[in-house]
């Protein structure tokens, strides 16, 4: 299975084989995040962690993503997209295996709960420092290979792979946790090994625009870019604040066991992700809407869904509301990523992907702590915060600058 990027043109779409490989890489990246959100809250209680400790372990990834996103994006301009993606994939494999081994030691009584907490924080940090290279280099490679008109379709394909990871991750957590608490981690590790092989043998470095004097972060720090990145951060923060407490909400509201909670959250995220995939693969590429219209249509639907999730009287009502949330929120990620790519210019795609990754990281860093702390105070608060942030994202998209594919 081979593919070359020398045949693509700046007016074309993403080459098929390259798209499949990049999509698989984003798939495993999503699995690495989403299955942990699914399994860690109930598993953390079994290991003797408090809710805030689970939040810290999840949040530390976002904290380091804030640093690594811009750095890896800029490095990919010099080292090449493929090399940087490979570094991220190897780190993904090593650190996921280390995370599982640490949990096994705690469950066997070899280490204390506090020592396990400290080690998991450290491993999660190293995981993000290394695997954080995958996202900005992948998004930059997509931008290298697509025209402005086809950018949204290329971005939607990659973000749909992330959405599918939201399906596979919880399914792995729910399906394999019955074998052992850490079986899902080892399955995910093997999937990472497959990604390394695909990157080595099937991915080729694309032609990129020649360096100019207008390359680097100081040249993309424009009002348009900062407003887009800020809106993306608001969107991610709202989503993470709600998703991270979904396990606690379901367990406490419906009186579920640890295994039932993992399975329930897995089903909820599965339904939401399927809805996102339908929107991102089946709808967005055909409509070719500009980013602002995508946000104006999708976010009100997501807002309504969040309120329904909070007030759901039954387990299955919550599942249905999560499907509606997937339909609405599924347009947000490709809308903001497309707008960011268009605003950066062809010679700054790596830096732009890194910058948006950094703003995204703020959401992943603050969201878990904000969600878990406010849930302890009042179980409804994280849902209210998420709703308010979705409204803010719409306001920002309409008041602040946002480019279209037809802008020069």
- Residue 301 belongs to domain spanning: 16-207+216-399
**1 in a domain, yes or no?**
no
**37 in a domain, yes or no?**
yes
pLDDT of residue 5: 41
CATH assignment of the domain containing 77: 1.20.1250.20
SS3 state of residue 289 = coil
Domain count across the chain: 1
Higher pLDDT among residues 312 and 276, named by residue: 312
**156 in a domain, yes or no?**
yes
> In sequence order, what DSSP letters do the residues of 8-49 get, joined into one string?
--TTS---HHHHHHHHHHHHHHHHHHHHHHHHHHHHHHHTT-
pTM greater than 0.95 = no
**8 in a domain, yes or no?**
no
Q: What is the pLDDT of residues 167-184, one digit of tens each?
A: 677 678 767 877 888 888
**356 in a domain, yes or no?**
yes
**113 in a domain, yes or no?**
yes
Residue 7 token pair: 């045949």
Q: What is the pLDDT of residues 369-407, one digit of tens each?
A: 899 889 989 999 999 999 999 999 999 888 877 766 555
Taking CA atoms, 125 is separated from 65, 86, 135, 381, in Å, by 9, 18, 16, 28
> In sequence order, what DSSP letters do the residues of 101-126 get, joined into one string?
HHHHHHHTTSS-HHHHHHHHHHHHHH
Backbone angles phi, psi at 271, to 5 degrees: -60, -45
Q: Which of 225, 186, 236 is nearest to 390 (CA)?
A: 236
**9 in a domain, yes or no?**
no
């Amino acid at each position: 299975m081979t593919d070359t990027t020398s045949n693509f043109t700046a007016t074309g779409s993403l080459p098929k084989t390259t798209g499949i490989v990049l999509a698989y890489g984003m798939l495993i990246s999503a699995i690495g995040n989403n299955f942990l959100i699914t399994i860690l809250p109930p598993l953390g209680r079994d290991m003797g962690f408090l809710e805030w400790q689970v939040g810290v372990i999840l949040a530390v990834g976002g904290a380091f993503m804030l640093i690594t996103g811009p750095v890896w994006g800029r490095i990919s301009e010099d080292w090449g997209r493929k090399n940087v993606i490979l570094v991220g994939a190897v780190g993904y494999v090593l650190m996921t295996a280390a995370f599982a081994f640490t949990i096994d030691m705690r469950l066997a009584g070899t280490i204390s709960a506090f020592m396990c907490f400290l080690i998991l924080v450290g491993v999660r940090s190293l995981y993000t420092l290394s695997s954080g290279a995958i996202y900005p280099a992948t998004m930059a490679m997509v931008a290298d290979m697509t025209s402005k008109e086809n950018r949204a379709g290329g971005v939607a394909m990659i973000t749909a792979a992330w959405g599918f990871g939201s399906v596979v991750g919880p399914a792995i957590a729910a399906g394999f946790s019955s074998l052992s608490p850490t079986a899902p981690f080892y399955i995910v590790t093997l999937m990472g090994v497959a990604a390394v092989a695909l990157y080595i043998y099937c991915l080729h470095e694309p032609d990129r625009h020649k360096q100019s004097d207008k390359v680097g972060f100081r040249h993309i720090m424009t009002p348009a870019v900062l407003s887009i990145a800020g809106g993306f951060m608001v969107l991610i923060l709202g989503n993470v604040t709600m998703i991270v407490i979904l396990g606690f909400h379901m367990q406490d509201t419906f009186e579920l066991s640890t295994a039932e909670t993992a399975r329930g959250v897995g089903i909820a995220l599965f339904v939401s992700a399927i809805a996102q995939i339908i929107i991102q693969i089946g709808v967005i590429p055909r409509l070719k809407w500009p980013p602002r219209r995508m946000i104006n249509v999708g976010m009100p639907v997501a807002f309504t869904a969040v309120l329904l999730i909070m007030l759901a009287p039954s387990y299955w009502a919550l599942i249905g509301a999560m499907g509606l949330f997937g339909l609405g929120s599924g347009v947000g990620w490709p809308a903001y990523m497309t707008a960011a790519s268009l605003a950066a210019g062809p010679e700054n795609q790596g830096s732009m992907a890194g910058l948006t990754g950094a703003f995204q990281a703020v959401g992943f860093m603050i969201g878990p702590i904000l969600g878990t702390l406010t849930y302890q105070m009042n179980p409804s608060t994280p849902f209210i915060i998420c709703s308010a942030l979705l409204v803010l994202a719409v306001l920002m998209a309409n008041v602040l600058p946002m480019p279209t594919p037809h802008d020069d």
